[in-house]
Structures are given as C-alpha cells and as structure tokens.
Structure 1
Amino acid sequence: MKPEISVVMACYNEPVAWLTEAIHSILNQTFKELELLVVVDNPNHQDAITRVTEMAESDNRLRVLVNEKNMGLPRSLNRGFSEAKGALFARMDADDIADKDRFLRQADYLTQNPEIDLIGTAIENIDARGEHVGIKTFLTSPEAIEKAIKYRSVACHPTWLMRRHVYESINGYRYFPSSEDYDFLYRVLDAGFRIANLEAVLLKYRLHDNSMTSALSAFQYQVKGYIQTLHRQRVQTGEDNYSPEVALNLKKETATNAKSSYLVTKAREAEEGRKMVRLAFWGSLAVLFSGSGMARVKSFLGFRYVKWRYER
C-alpha cells in the first residue's frame, strides 16, 4: 500500500537509545499510512546502523539509507525525500519524541484547510534525560507568520508536515552549515505558499549540548542575514544568487569563542523561559562580547511586536 505520509529522519551521532525512542514514536502513530526513511549520515556509527536495520526487519514501513560519507543535514534530507512515496512530507529528528496523535491531527488539519501548505506544532522542550523543561508555542496564523519570518524561524523544523508539491516546487533544501530550515521556510513563503502552526503540543524537543550549540552560535545570525539578503533579491528580481560557498565561509569568518557562546546560550535559555529580567542581563552581556547579541535582542523585540499586533 502506498503511504500517505513520508517521514524523513537524519541521524548522525545521536545515542542509540534516543534514536530508538524517536523511531518508535513514529511507527506507533495512530495514523498508520506512513513510511519512515532514516538517513544515517555517519557510516561509522555502526551501533545506529545495526539498531535501525533490526527495527526495519520487523516493520516494513521503515527504510534505512546509509550515506557513504558525511553529507550534512540538508543533503541527507534531500536524499531521503528523493525516495519518498507519500503525498505528504514530514520531518522528524533522531533525538525527539512525537506525540502518538501528531500526524493524525496534522493531516486532518491539512484536509480541513486546503489553503494551508505546511503545518507545524507547539513543542515541549525536554532535557537530555527526557525531563520537562518548558512549553514553546509558535504563531498560528499565516498572516502573523508572514510578518514574523524576518525575525526568526516560524515553525519548529521536526514538527513540519507539508504537501509534497511544496517541497518539489522549491527543489528541496539548499546547503547551509546552519539554518537550512529558515531558508526553506523563507522560500516557501516567497513562492506564495501558506504556513500555519497548531496550538497543540505534539512533539518533545530535546535540548542538549549539540542542539544548543547549532542554535546559538554567532555564525548562525550571519547565516540568517545572508538568507534575508537572498529573500530581498527574490523580491526584487524573482531569483537569488545563492552560493553554498558563501554560507560556509560565514562560519569560518565568525567562529564563536567560548565566552560569547556561553553568554548567548544564557540569553537563549532566558528567552525560552520567558524570564525577561534574565534576558535583559544576559542579552546585554552578549551584545558586548558577541556579534549575535544585538541580533537576538532585535529579533526578540520584533517578534514580540508581531505577536502582539496579529495574535493578541
């Protein structure tokens, strides 16, 4: 039977226990008409390859793709989606946990709202031990999302469910060492598609050192600036002059030292916890020691205005 939903999960160095839990959370969905493609992006992670292969033997909805060498997340996702069979494409990370009704509720939403092309959800942040950290919500209306995209990513990457033609129309992911999801969403909106988020918490999102490092490094804000420049080019000329070499060079030029990483991390933690006094304190220090500090302050204030203006 042809699956309705194709879920793509990339795995690099995640612990096998986390990977197993993530896979189980997809295969045990109440929505059964799905397939899960796990792309192992580290051919030397033999424990992961063995575990996923064993799981695939007991459930033919699970397919395993092992890259011959490390390709990075965007290229790994493109490889997975290139072999997907479903009418709907979904994302999942190898260290997160999906609610059992996630796809049932998201697919139903897309059926009931044909004008929406990509749907995300709210998330529960958990720590490395799986313990509750907090709830993170996202803007829900397409109008607010279109205004907020210039300040931050507007839908949590591993919660996405989209119509297949959305992915195909923008030719999938482009290579960035960070923020490939931000570029993807910007191009989706620039192509005239509409994005929304469910208010329901349908994913447990694991915060750990590796995930925080990628989300907080100073170069990420440089990459986002480049992505916004590409957006402006598309608005003006209908196309952009994207270059993966430019994005990669940004990382080399803005290597983050330990002090600035620590300060930006503390500012991010305060923002996630909505602790405004702490955000002001750590954000001020980050402005002094990190090029990303001011960017985070501007992003926060701009986003809060959009939320107040469109979803109060």
Structure 2
Amino acid sequence: MKPTLPSATVLLCVFNGAKTLDRCLYSLQQQTTQDFCIVCIDDASTDESTDFLRQWQEKFGTERFFLYENKVNLGLTRSLNFGLSHIKTTFTARIDADDWWHPEKLEKQLAYLKINPPCGVVGTWYENHGHRGIRKIPLPETDTAIKASILRQNPFAHSAVVFQTELIRAHGGYNNQWKYGQDYELWLRLLSYTKFANIPEYLCYRSADDTLTAKKQREQMFSCVKTQLLYLKQYHRPLWEYCFILNPLLVALAPEWLRQLKRRFL
C-alpha cells in the first residue's frame, strides 16, 4: 500500500544560505499543519549550507525532506524547475532560505485553495525585516485588484505564494531565460489562465537588509522592465501603461548614492 501524499510540497532552493537556514526551516517545523513535504535544491553551495540541510533532513525524516545537491551552480531559475520536476503533490509552496513564515501561513493558504479551486496562486501580505526595522507590505487582495495592478509591479512575494503544481507545469514552469524576476514573468504568463488572490494577513517575513551589489540591483530592475515590456505588448495594453516601466528603469539608471538615499528614506 502506497503512503498517502501530503497536500503540499515546500520548494526551497539554497545557495550559500547557512546564516539563515535554521530560522527558515524552524518556521516550517512550527507550521500548524504538517501536511507537506520539502523538496530542497542545494545549488552547489560553498559555505556550510549542505551540512545544515543534511541535519534538517534528519530532523524531518528522509520520507519528508528530499535533498538534491547540484554538482555545479545552476542558478535559481534552473534549480526551481529542477525542483518542480520532482514535486508530486497538488500544491507547491515557495520559500527562500533567508525568509520565514508565521506558524499558520501554510494552513490558511491550503484551506483557501481547497475551497477556491479556480484560484491557482495565493499569496499573503508580508513584512520586510532589516536593520532599519520592520516594514509592512500590504498587497492587492482580489483577482480583480491583482490583475489591475500586475503590470505596474509584482503583486506577490515569491516566498509567500502557494500554487497549483500542475497549473505551473502545464504552462512551462519558470522561464529559464529569466535570471531575476522569474516569478513575476510567470504570474504575467498565467494572467489569462487562472485566478489570483492574496490573504490580507502578514504571514510571511522577508530579510530586507541590503546585501545587493549595485550591478545585481541594476540587473534585477532591467529584468523587471524586460518583463513589463514583453507583456504590455503581448496583452495589447494602452500606451499610457508603458509609463509603468519608469520606476524600475530610473532605479536601474540612478547612481549608487541616489539609490542609497532612496532606500534610506523611502
């Protein structure tokens, strides 16, 4: 007799996340529902991540914690798709190694998805935690509100989403051409095929200490512009909506001292 599959898989990709892995995985251990397994991709880490992950695999058990160790660094997007290919459950929840969850997060999202089958992706509001304190980030809640604002900015925190696994697979998974913002491109690709929602509670916590290099931040902002332009054109949006690219474009082009000033006061 085959064991019953859990409802969800938590998909975690790690590259040199040793400093925050314990906090992340402890938050999974403390979830009020344990109706999940974990698929973890160690993307050829060079710090102590691999050792920590093996220790956590022992805590959860090898029947719940599936650890795959890349021989070479594939990058986040390819690692996500590799992990997705190993998921057998109805739902997939994403988390990054430096983020963590409220204990009731997964239970509330799974309950929402089970009573709202047209919804393929559900997120939550989230908090950014950094050395300057905590910043609460509310997001549009309903499918209508999310789709009205999605070309302006990403309406989900990646570590906050739970989605229907087969929906994502049916539409090609994450786009390997996107090094950054692969989640944003995916949501825009799904726009016509499913409903979206955000639970209006702060159930996800993200590390917001600024560790990005100027080069990496520019690349992220240019990736955002690339995504917006692609789907503004594909969805035949009015010309005035092309102004949505201005914010990420200005961030990408601004000198470092101005970006630092913006992060300090905004």
TM bucket (normalised to shorter chain) is: 0.7 to 0.9
2:24 corresponds, among 18, 22, 26, to: 22
2:242 aligned residue:
none
2:229 aligned residue:
229
Alignment of 1:114-125 (within 5 A): 114-125=117-128
Q: CA deviation at 1:208?
A: 2.0
2:94 aligned residue:
91
1:158 aligned residue:
159
1:297 aligned residue:
none
Q: Which amino acid is 2:135 matched to?
A: G
1:3 aligned residue:
6
Aligned equivalents of 2:142, 2:257: Cα separation in 1: 34
TM-score by length of 2: 0.84
Alignment of 1:77-116 (within 5 A): 77-116=80-119
1:266 aligned residue:
261
Deviations 1:253-282, CA, capped at 9 Å, x for gaps: x9x9997234224324544xxxxxxxxxxx
Aligned equivalents of 1:224, 1:215: Cα separation in 2: 14
Quick check: 2:14–2:45 contact (8 Å CA) kept in 1? no
**What's the secondary structure of 2:119's corresponding residue?**
coil
Quick check: 2:102–2:203 contact (8 Å CA) kept in 1? yes
Aligned equivalents of 2:10, 2:162: Cα separation in 1: 9
**What's the secondary structure of 2:262's corresponding residue?**
helix
Aligned equivalents of 2:29, 2:207: Cα separation in 1: 19
Deviations 1:230-252, CA, capped at 9 Å, x for gaps: 3245446xxxxxxxxxxxxxxxx
**Higher strand proportion:** 2
**Higher helix proportion:** 1
Aligned equivalents of 2:144, 2:259: Cα separation in 1: 30
Q: CA deviation at 1:20?
A: 1.2
Aligned equivalents of 2:215, 2:264: Cα separation in 1: 11
Identity %: 23
Unaligned residue ranges in structure 2 (runs of 5+): 237-248
Unaligned residue ranges in structure 1 (runs of 5+): 237-253, 272-312
Cα distance change of structure 1 residues 21 and 172 upon mapping to structure 2, 3 Å threshold:
same
Quick check: 1:74–1:180 contact (8 Å CA) kept in 2? yes
Cα distance change of structure 1 residues 180 and 125 upon mapping to structure 2, 3 Å threshold:
same
Alignment of 1:131-150 (within 5 A): 132-150=133-151
Higher relative contact order (CA 8 A, sep 6+): 2
Quote the RMSD (CA, aligned, Å): 2.5
Aligned equivalents of 2:197, 2:19: Cα separation in 1: 32
Count of residues in Structure 1 that have an aligned counterpart in Structure 2: 247
1:34 aligned residue:
36
Q: Which amino acid is 2:189 matched to?
A: R
Aligned equivalents of 2:21, 2:114: Cα separation in 1: 30
TM-score by length of 1: 0.72
